[in-house]
Chain A
Amino acid sequence: GESVGLHLPTLSVQEGDNSIINCAYSNSASDYFIWYKQESGKGPQFIIDIRSNMDKRQGQRVTVLLNKTVKHLSLQIAATQPGDSAVYFCAETSGSARQLTFGSGTQLTVLP
């Protein structure tokens, strides 16, 4: 079946460095993608989204890149801070389905 997966389960970066979290998806009909951040004991928090008619979108310290050719999504966090430590999920949905499919998550740890 269709799935959304993450390349790496864990990622450790030094404070101040840039972080890149990758995600692969397999549903070619996916047209809307979201990155969520989930801290321990909390629900997923919306970070940034992107539609399939775009290949890049920037927010505050975050950038999402979409490569539809290889069905790959990435989240870049600039100047990573201790508060960025969390599990990051990519999620996708398609058209009118409105059902959000999540990957299994990447644990980002920011080292002092």
Chain B
Amino acid sequence: EAGVVQSPRYKIIEKKQPVAFWCNPISGHNTLYWYRQNLGQGPELLIRYENEEAVDDSQLPKDRFSAERLKGVDSTLKIQPAELGDSAVYLCASSEAGAKYFGPGTRLLVL
């Protein structure tokens, strides 16, 4: 069974540039999450989707971050414009009930 798929795995951009991350959750999982993980820390929730609806985006910096999950399956997370402090690993996770399963993450470096 395929796990959560994310792309790209790595991204290096200059500050003020836009960047987008893509996630394909585990088949059948209605709940999708985007997390940000800084070095040496645990993941922090950015946004949670139930199907195509964003039900918890309270931690998403809405001035520069946006996300969508138009058909309730794949999701994209965008940052525009990126800042130096956005350098982190961006993790996507999905769940049906109970445990959340994470993708490998996208490692973003903003120069």
Chain A residues at the B interface, C-beta cutoff of 8 Å: 4, 32, 34, 36, 41-46, 49, 89, 91, 98-100, 102-105
Q: Which of A46, A89, A99 contacts B42 (CB 8 A)?
A: A89
Query: B82 on the interface (CB 8 Å rule)?
Result: no
Q: Which of B40, B56, B91, B99 contacts A105 (CB 8 A)?
A: B40
B107 to chain A: which residues have CB within 8 Å?
41
Interface size bracket, B side: 20 to 34
Bound together, the chains give a CA A37 to CA B60 distance in angstroms of 25
Within 8 A of A (CB), among B66-99: 91, 93, 98-99
A91 with B42: CB separation less than 8 A: yes
Query: B105 on the interface (CB 8 Å rule)?
Result: yes
B42 with A102: CB separation less than 8 A: yes
Bound together, the chains give a CA A43 to CA B98 distance in angstroms of 18
B45 with A42: CB separation less than 8 A: no
Query: B43 on the interface (CB 8 Å rule)?
Result: yes
Given contacts A99-B56, A105-B42, contact A46 B48 (CB under 8 A): no
